[in-house]
Amino acid sequence: MDRDFYTEDHELYRQTVREFLTREVVPHRERWDEERWIDRRVFAAAATSGIYALQVPEQYGGAGELDYRYRMIVCEEVSRAHALSFALTLGLQDDLVLHYLLDLTTDEQKQRWLPGFATGEIIGALAMTEPGAGSDLRGIRTEAKQDGEDWILNGQKTFISSGIMADLVIVAARTNPGGGSKAFTLFVVESDWPGFTRGRKLQKIGLPGQDTAELFFDNVRVPSENVLGGIGRGLHNLMSHLPRERLGISAGAIALSRTIFDVTREYCFTRTAFGKPIGDNQHVRFELAEMATELDVAEAYVDKSVLAYNEGKLTPVDAAKGKWYTSELQKRIVDRCLQLHGGYGYMSEYPVGRAYIDTRIQTIYAGTTEIMKEIIGRDLARGHSHE
């Protein structure tokens, strides 16, 4: 099926992305995973080359490009480069941190933070999850109490992507003990502030190059000019930015699934067993046929979601549908592709083996599959009376 989705300008951009990855990422990706750390310089090079932060307005050093299809191209090409730890970090910056800094900041905050983000000198992180609060944001216990013009922040966060590397951390904290929808506020904590410490770099089973951390806040004094999006608006601001985050997961999931399928298809028609390519067996062809169909159908939904996002029409429910389905599809595709590779698929030097480990988190972060279904189910039930 022809994919009438990209223009000539998009394809020219694809060449830029591909050349950047070949030069700056592919030679280092294995070392990054072995060292569990991505060289920070690559993010400055990526931002300068327009690989992310395209949406930063021109007056702050960006391109002011709002078309999400450029972000999709980055997802596709980074997947083809088999650099998934790098892909996750780009997604964190472009699909999460940047949009908080674009949408919720004052003019003064934009002047302070966006120029550094546009050049890749500032790396950000989003700190919501706590040891006792994951999908249930209302369970957040980190708190901030007002002290004159400042706020005193205390608490702990965990599973924070880029938490070790980040210069700015957007922290969700409880500011109203009474609870309710106005109980939370977002604060931007800067890396060198007294009382802000980083715990251990967490040992994950996949995506080893992408640092994930525990963060601790012990009487951190946050000036009022680092309140993000207004006092008591934290929960609303978090919820309103979830569609973009979940679209990013869908884009990455479909890109990686397509990449591993293409690798496996090639393998099936070059690997021989019993005197013929394994792809000549009907069962293998049926497996490939099913996966090709599922990918085309899911890709059509993601493309539609991207265009809806460009028009400002992507709803939280539609984003949730895409997130759970494509992340679960990625798990199925990668698992089946590993099976078709046989013993070679279990070897870490093969892309499918590495993708198998890196894929598992997809159905968990940015809202679990179960939470996505609950969001969709509540929407379906809304407006219907119960007898």
Q: Which residues are catalytic?
A: 245
User: 171 and 196 in contact (C-beta within 8 Å)?
Assistant: no
| Cα dist from 264 to 26, 258, 329, 350, whole Å | 20, 10, 16, 11
Phi, psi of 209 (to 5 degrees): -70, -20
Task: List the one residue out of 135, 67, 143 whose CA is nearest residue 310.
Answer: 67
Q: Match 């119960």 to its residue by tokens.
A: 386
Burial of 371 (0-12, 13-18, 19+ CB in 10 A): middle
The four Cα atoms 338, 340, 343, 345 give a dihedral, to 10 degrees, of: -30
Q: Which amino acid is at 313?
A: K
Distances (CA, A) of 290 to 84, 160, 373: 25, 36, 24
User: Do residues 78 and 86 make contact, with C-beta atoms less than 8 angstroms apart?
Assistant: yes
Give dist(CA 173, CA 157) in Å, integer: 10
Q: What is the rounded distance in angstroms from the CA atom of residue 153 to the CA atom of residue 222?
A: 7
Please list, in sequence order, all residues whose beta carbon lies within 8 angstroms of the beta carbon of residue 58, skipping any fewer than 6 positions away. Answer: 64
Are the C-beta atoms of 79 and 259 separated by less than 8 Å? yes
Q: Strand, coil or helix: what is 68?
A: coil
Annotate 266-333 with three-state secondary structure.
HHHCCCEECCEEHHHCHHHHHHHHHHHHHHHHHHHHHHHHHHHHHCCCCCHHHHHHHHHHHHHHHHHH
Give SS3 for 214: strand
